[in-house]
Structure 1
Amino acid sequence: MAISVMNIRRYFSSKSLRLSLAGLLIINAGFSQNKIDSVQKVKEITIKAYLSEQPILQVPSSVSVISSKQLRDQPGISMLPALNSVPGIRMEERSPGSYRLSIRGSLLRSPFGVRNVKIYLDEFPLTDAGGNTYLNLIDVNSISNIEVLKGPDGSIFGANSGGVVLLNPLDRNADSSYASAGISGGSYGLFQEKLAIQKKMNNQYLNINHSYQKSDGYREHSAMSRHYAQLMYRLNYAKETSQLRVLAFVSDLEYKTPGGLTLAQYTANPQAARPSTNFAAGPVAQKARIENNTFYAGVVNDARITEKLKHVIAVYGTHTDYLNPFITNYEIRNENTAGLRTYLELSGKEDAKISWKWNAGLELQRTAADISNYDNLRGEKGKMQAQDDITSNQFFYFTRYSVNIGKRFTAEAAASINHYKYLFSKDIRSYATRFERKFDPEFMPRFAMSYQLNNNLALRSSVSRGYSIPTIAEVRASDNIINTGLESETGWNYEAGFRLRNNNDRLWLDASVFQYRLENAIVRRVNANDTEFYLNAGGTRQTGIETQSSYWLIAPGSKGLLNGLQIQNSYTLSKYFFRDYYNGTANYSGNRLTGTPRAVIISGLDFRFPKNFYLFAQHNYTSKIALNDANSVFSKDFNLVHFKAGWRSKSKQGKPGLDFFAGIDNLLNETYSLGNDLNAFGGRYFNAAPLRNYFGGVKMTL
């Protein structure tokens, strides 16, 4: 359905959007007045998401890039603040180590973890065949940059109804040897150490990263610790036109889960864990926690066969031991995943008036999960409650054709055919109750185009179909009942937008408006005994506006009191509603989508001072959030401010580079919940985030 002009006018009349646009006008005013530094060009933004590198101005999709600089500006403890600076993205932290990630409202079905968002690490899917992603295993310091494709994009990435995130662990073209070490600490027992070494050996590169992080947590029973080690080997061969890469990591993560609080408990003592009652022991008594030990390894060969033909193949496997004692039972999971992703790229002449590229490939995965549940006897395994063996198989074929005419007009047509099935066994010894759930093949097309009016302004539009199967954690939820009737989500997304820059790339503005109509939305419900289950809730109507801008008011490298000053802003307006949603006799049609704030505004200032001093400040405004489908309870809006300041010198021959930094998070000392338990039974919605807290550290590079 097309987005009406009346709706767009109504959105642009909102107060929060006017504030955001006012900020952009200030940026543009500065742009028009500042011509002295126009010759100083900032590095152009490029992306690799669509199988080959291209300037972001030409990309006919809603894509955001979080650069290594943007990651470095943040505290370096998690990806959360950097990802939340992207419009349309919401990352939450119920307690240290317990992360959730959503794109454009996909949090609806994620009480924890990441669902209906596809995540890749280099060319390797981090999302398993069961639809689950252990994003909290990854250390942010091992990531070079992040690319986010917003909206359903299954044309070349398979099943998802939210979007795609690509984590690029290293710059594939980095051409030097280095070593770095850092240590940092902060409030609530925060400690982190990180080591990185890269060795260049002719045309070979070996990179090793290691980190250890721990925290006592702000709340009672919320401590976490993680050991992470990552290895990446690169070999450039065939006259440096081809590359073989090996990537492996091992992560040992443990974090305690304090449980949600009622409003009265949250108001009286937000640091408390959920208390025990006469009917159920609390998380402290039950020693509720999650232990995740995962090994992941893969090999990718990126071969240039001829000048016009390239072939990429990635093979990988992963093993996870997962332990989760919680209030109602004691769960043990043993998971193994193997997969392959391969594609060909055939291209015409790049300097021709009409240039084109054609891709074709496939991706397949198989995840075998042995899940056992026992009575939880104060943190010890008791009598078995249930045992299931679930095997997930998914594969899809994809193709993409893109054409560029006259360096101005770009058009893309892409599609995938997705196959998916589960195999369940209630008795894994005899397979006596073995049965299969096979989903119909799904066709996921995508059409997009962009037109550059000039070298600095490009318009774009796209239409794409989303499809997301129910995950293992939803088919077999904590009630230990296999729900064979749960259907997949599907939907169509219609989008338009523009990108604007100036001649030296100091100004950047990206804006989009979209409407997504989702069918068979999956929602979470909670039983009286605190176990959960999932059901299809009809459809949703999701209309939104997203803008992201930045401008160097003073170009980096300038002389004077300030060597550089950049202003940043992102704005998200989410008008998301249920439609045709009935739960028993209750009619939730027309209610706001659960878990999604109406408006989010992120503003930042990056100061560069003489003698290598710097300061980064960021403000986050998030409006109230519906905590249940009935819209009877909302969280309060909140304002977060944080600072990071320090001194940084670059390494030179014979001299190490140093970076001393310190910062304050939640400067305004706001009491807020970052990671609400949606549709929680008994009103236990709230998971309090830390009050004002501090961090600091040092990093040395050789």
Structure 2
Amino acid sequence: MKRYFLSLFLFAVASIVNAQQIKGRIINSTTSGVVENARILDVTTGVIVFSDARGEFEITSNQKTLRLEITAKSYYIKKVEIPVADLLEIALLPLPEMLSEVIVKGSVFSNELRQVPASVGMLTKKDLERIDAGNMVQVFNNIPGIYVNQGALNTTKLSIRGIGARSQYNTNRIQAYLNEIPLTTGEGELTLDDLDVESLSSIEIIKGPTSSLYGAGLGGVINLYAKSENAEKTQTSAATQVGSYGFLKNTIVASHATADINVYANYNDLQSNGYRDNGSYKRQSGLVNIEFPSTNGNSLNVVANYTHLKAFIPSSLNEDDFINSPEKAAFTWGKSKGYESYNCGLLGVAYTTNIAPKLKNTTATYINFKNAFEPRPFDILKEERISTGMRTKFRYLTEFFELPSDLVFGGEYYREWYEMATFQNLYEENEGQGSLRGSQLSNNEQDRSYVNFFGQFKVEATKSLDLEMGLNFNTTQYQLNDIFENDDLDQSGNYKFKTVLSPRLAASYEVASQKNIYASISHGFSTPSVSETLTPEGEINTSLKPETGINYEIGFKGNWFNNALYTELALYSIQVKNLLVAQRIAEDRYVGVNAGKTNHNGIELFTTYNLLVSDNIAINPYFNSAINFFEFEDFTNNEIDYSGKQLPGVPEYTFNLGMDITFFNSLRVYSSLMNVGQIALNDANSLFSDAYQLLNVKASYQLPLFKVMNLNLSAGINNLLNEKYASSILPNAVGFGGASPRYYYPGNPRNYFAGIGLNYIF
């Protein structure tokens, strides 16, 4: 007996001596951020510990191999059997983001998506990683109701619910912000290509008229948020992506985060020869995002972005060239070697402060600029633009007849100084060397400004019913100074649009747990650009009116099957009047006219499903669709009545089916199939583009090399089925000099890409 107790005692002593304190950290496998309060079970001993605020834990073991089971809210359960190390780092796979629980920051009230009484598209970090790193705008195709026309990397046009589809070469009728800083110019034009997809953390799109919140934006608003570091650490990374048609992108990223400061910096250099002649593209851009948080809730955010771009322009093709020679450039653009080149940048500072326990204010001030030079076959354009402004927003939590209420109010001021000059293009006399600047044709200065005052009020009428109402007051004006003295035409003048009041009413009702229905009525408007207000003789058309529209919408948002399935359904009708039409008066020259009314009726569906096949395999299929009934209600142009015709430039339908598969927290496979219906090419509906399907696939793999270094690999194929299609349409193209109309921008054939990157954590 004594020997037994002695042996037991010696075994216990040996166990204690051999036992060691093992430190570890639990992180998010997607963001590398720490996971707090994760439950770590030692399956062998039954000991349970929890991770702290830094994601760290300690556990005692005398085993050479640990068998652990880790559980945490919003993460898949993970079971591991790993050798003991000085510092364990275990990555948990997050449950595919339950969109219903994502906070929508751009909705003013910062509600969960399911509770927002509006149609809001969310693009999360995972969505941004589905695409190749060279083409940001293609990610918008994952949102029902948005259609992307992309003639080239620098020729992009987005339409939301058909609004903006009639634009010729760029995105308009849509407001956009980066960290509260306006990206849309005073003329209402938007260029998203200046931002790099790898510098963004998320994107929100509020579809339909949102003027009660953001002023002139009949189509909606896009809120982009710059990337920041999630965990307190310092790291740097470098990556290279190569692809078809001479594509090359190099990226360098550095970040540093502590309790007092969060710094993120991204620099990238992108170039491509392009699929088409005269299609080479070069862009260098950099973004810096700095946050200064504080324990009392106050915070300061500084964001800056700079872009240098030179992109040649192949332009659109007629039907014969589109079918037989899609790689060629339009003849005059090829001969002149037309291109655009510019430097642009922005700097913004936003400060959030808690004025009182229930009163918070966020104020952002900013400045941005753009200097551009664009040789075109018909002239050479030189532009300089500087704009500045401020946006302030107050939020007050109160009670309305003893009901919990939320009041948001504020204002926005924008001022822009714009100079434009045109010159002769003597490319035909330049012996095949391309564009050559000749004598000056025009010289104009424009001052543009607008003021918005907005207010939104929400009351929790019952535990299940939220009511919202809002109102926006807008005044827009500009001054045009013609300082070109070598002609008899003086375009100088002042123009001020009538004050526009834009109201909004909305309600959201929780019909069952995690299931909401909503309804809304909202007003929106878009003002004409300066170029649209000029007559063919160059005088200001003072009779033009802003486009206005009213959006009627009902919808459903809800979770099913223990929150594994999320669905959204929206039915809407937008009635637009004083439709602004770009009327062609010469090759690539247009003036604006108010030509009538349009009806934008549609149905949108989005659904996503989260399936855990095993501890190490997760599948996330998703589907979205938009069925569009967009037509002219009352539309006469050049004495021709087009009433009842289909709106050109937007597809009859879009269906997108995709699937994400994750293996062992490290290998991810993405696939998506986009189906696009036929598109009317002109107001008369005499020609339509063909429907098409695009299948894209991508795989990425993260391999830990050392404790502080990861290797990231990726590869993919766009247009796997090698579909021949028009990636963009030029509505109502007209042939001049006996030439056929150039409606089509050919899409890229099957093309490949691959990338490699290293990430180092200090």
Instruction: Provide TM-score, normalisation by structure 1.
Output: 0.89
1:63-212 alignment runs, 5 A limit = 63-171=120-228, 175-212=232-269
Distance of 1:358 and 1:566 partners within structure 2: 38
1:211-290 alignment runs, 5 A limit = 211-237=268-294, 239-275=295-331, 282-290=332-340
State the partner residue of 2:414: 365
Structure 2 CA distance for partners of 1:216 and 1:392, relative to 1, 3 Å? same
Query: Retained in 1: the 8 A contact 2:621–2:658?
Result: yes
Structure 2 CA distance for partners of 1:673 and 1:479, relative to 1, 3 Å? farther
Which is worse superposed, 690-699 or 92-101?
A: 92-101
Distance of 2:705 and 2:209 partners within structure 1: 43
Distance of 1:482 and 1:535 partners within structure 2: 12
Query: Retained in 2: the 8 A contact 1:113–1:133?
Result: yes
What is the CA-CA distance between 1:459 and the residue it aligns to? Answer: 0.3
Structure 2 CA distance for partners of 1:54 and 1:172, relative to 1, 3 Å? farther
The structure 1 residue matched to 2:712, chosen from 646, 653, 659, is: 659
What is the CA-CA distance between 1:41 and the residue it aligns to? Answer: 5.6
Structure 2 CA distance for partners of 1:565 and 1:480, relative to 1, 3 Å? farther
Percent identity over paired residues: 27
What is the CA-CA distance between 1:500 and the residue it aligns to? Answer: 1.2
Distance of 1:80 and 1:247 partners within structure 2: 21
**2:685 paired with 1:631:** yes
**2:431 paired with 1:375:** no
**2:535 paired with 1:496:** no
Query: Retained in 2: the 8 A contact 1:543–1:576?
Result: yes
What is the CA-CA distance between 1:173 and the residue it aligns to? Answer: 6.2
Structure 2 CA distance for partners of 1:478 and 1:380, relative to 1, 3 Å? farther
Instruction: Provide TM-score, normalisation by structure 2.
Output: 0.82
What is the CA deviation profile of residues 352-383 of structure 1, one whole-angstrom value per residue up to 9, with x for unaligned ones? Answer: 99422101110010111111111111212111
**2:357 paired with 1:303:** no
SS in 2 for 1:681: coil
State the partner residue of 1:641: 695
Query: Retained in 2: the 8 A contact 1:115–1:471?
Result: no
Distance of 2:235 and 2:705 partners within structure 1: 10
1:326-475 alignment runs, 5 A limit = 326-348=376-398, 354-378=403-427, 379-427=435-483, 434-475=492-533
Computed over aligned residues only, the root mean square deviation of the Cα atoms, in angstroms, reads 2.4
Aligned-partner residue type, residue 621 of structure 1: N
Query: Retained in 1: the 8 A contact 2:210–2:522?
Result: yes
What is the CA deviation profile of residues 366-405 of structure 1, one whole-angstrom value per residue up to 9, with x for unaligned ones? Answer: 1111111111112121111112111111011001111224
State the partner residue of 1:620: 674
State the partner residue of 2:21: none
Query: Retained in 1: the 8 A contact 2:229–2:262?
Result: no
Aligned-partner residue type, residue 336 of structure 2: Q
Distance of 2:202 and 2:190 partners within structure 1: 19
Which is worse superposed, 72-81 or 218-227?
A: 72-81
What is the CA deviation profile of residues 631-678 of structure 1, one whole-angstrom value per residue up to 9, with x for unaligned ones? Answer: 1111110010010013124698x3322321111111111111111111
Aligned-partner residue type, residue 384 of structure 2: N
**2:724 paired with 1:668:** no
Structure 2 CA distance for partners of 1:456 and 1:112, relative to 1, 3 Å? same
**2:631 paired with 1:577:** yes
What is the CA-CA distance between 1:611 and the residue it aligns to? Answer: 6.8
Distance of 1:153 and 1:672 partners within structure 2: 33
What is the CA-CA distance between 1:111 and the residue it aligns to? Answer: 1.2
Distance of 1:650 and 1:526 partners within structure 2: 58
Distance of 1:90 and 1:203 partners within structure 2: 41
Greater RCO, 1 or 2 (C-alpha within 8 Å, sep 6+): 1
Distance of 1:432 and 1:386 partners within structure 2: 10
**2:374 paired with 1:324:** yes
SS in 2 for 1:418: strand
The structure 2 residue matched to 1:685, chosen from 740, 743, 748, is: 743
Distance of 2:701 and 2:300 partners within structure 1: 37
Distance of 2:658 and 2:531 partners within structure 1: 37
Aligned-partner residue type, residue 385 of structure 1: L
What is the CA deviation profile of residues 521-562 of structure 1, one whole-angstrom value per residue up to 9, with x for unaligned ones? Answer: 11223234342222222010110000111001336xx326xx
Structure 2 CA distance for partners of 1:546 and 1:206, relative to 1, 3 Å? same
State the partner residue of 2:622: 568
SS in 1 for 2:132: coil
Structure 2 CA distance for partners of 1:675 and 1:650, relative to 1, 3 Å? farther
State the partner residue of 1:605: 659
Segments of 5+ residues of structure 1 without an aligned counterpart are 1-36, 276-281
State the partner residue of 1:539: 597
What is the CA deviation profile of residues 30-61 of structure 1, one whole-angstrom value per residue up to 9, with x for unaligned ones? Answer: xxxxxxx8999654322101234321111111
What is the CA-CA distance between 1:347 and the residue it aligns to? Answer: 0.7
